[in-house]
Amino acid sequence: MKICVLVKQVPDAAVEKRVDSGSGRLDRSGETNLNPFDTHAIEAAMQVKEGGKIDVEEIVAVTMGPDNAQRALHKAVSLGADRSIHLTDDALAGSDCCATGYALARVLEAESPDLVLLGQQSDDGECYTMGAIVADHLKMPSLTQVIKMDVGDGSLRCERQAEYGYDTVDVALPAVISVGDAINEPRYPSLKAIMGAKKKQLDKKAIGDV
């Protein structure tokens, strides 16, 4: 099994959210960090890998963003991803959710993952729709707000938060799963993992490559 985890670089939680008056877009300058909701997706991937029910060949972290977004990928690798992919191109600057989802789907299409995981939302734009957009382009089933996953042979049994209570849903793989922050408690990276993250494979791609 190959698991791809979509991650995003976001402004640090201590930075007040601002809108650029000229462009009308979020101002993402200042200190940045890995989207905290995506750390739950990485942890979910690690728990599948360490669970022993199915052989996970690799976990690949994928992001789209400016050059400094590779910091989020280094953090993702320190948390357990085996390698990472950075889609970066000036032509992608200011992309909305639909354009971002399409571009990420093109990257994922080349990777042919069995499972795509991501956090339920981004900490800056608070967009809950990225999983569904990516899944639509990949023609894969999608679930959101998942708080429990049991991996089977070619399928997942997921428990997801609903408006009233919880739903249990069986979904065939490959699939795109947006995990809720109640699914797990992300681990802290070791010093060795942090130091070694920059040495792991990081593939840069431009829009022309996908």
CATH number at residue 136: 3.40.50.620
Residue segments in the chain with a per-residue pLDDT below the cut of 50: none
Model pLDDT, residue 11: 84
Nearest of 109, 170, 169 to residue 139 by alpha carbon: 109
Give the tens place of pLDDT for each residue, 125-183. 667 899 999 999 999 999 999 999 999 889 999 999 998 999 999 999 999 999 999 99
Residue 142 lies in a domain: yes
Nearest of 69, 56, 194, 196 to residue 117 by alpha carbon: 56
Residue 74 lies in a domain: yes
Residue 17 lies in a domain: no
Residue 30 lies in a domain: yes
Structural domain harbouring 152: 2-11+24-209
Model pLDDT, residue 13: 59
186, 193 Cβ separation under 8 angstroms: no
Residue 177 lies in a domain: yes
The residue assigned the tokens 């829009």 is: 207
Query: How many domains is the chain built from?
Result: 1
User: DSSP assignment of 65-134, as one string?
Assistant: SSGGGHHHHHHHHHTT-SEEEEE--GGGTT--HHHHHHHHHHHHHHH--SEEEEESS-TTT----HHHHH
Model pLDDT, residue 18: 57
Model pLDDT, residue 156: 96
Model pLDDT, residue 16: 62
Residue 61 lies in a domain: yes
| Backbone angles phi and psi of 26, in degrees to 5 | -60, 135
Rounded Cα–Cα distance for residues 49 and 40 (Å):
14
Residue 18 lies in a domain: no
pTM of the model: 0.91
Residue 87 lies in a domain: yes
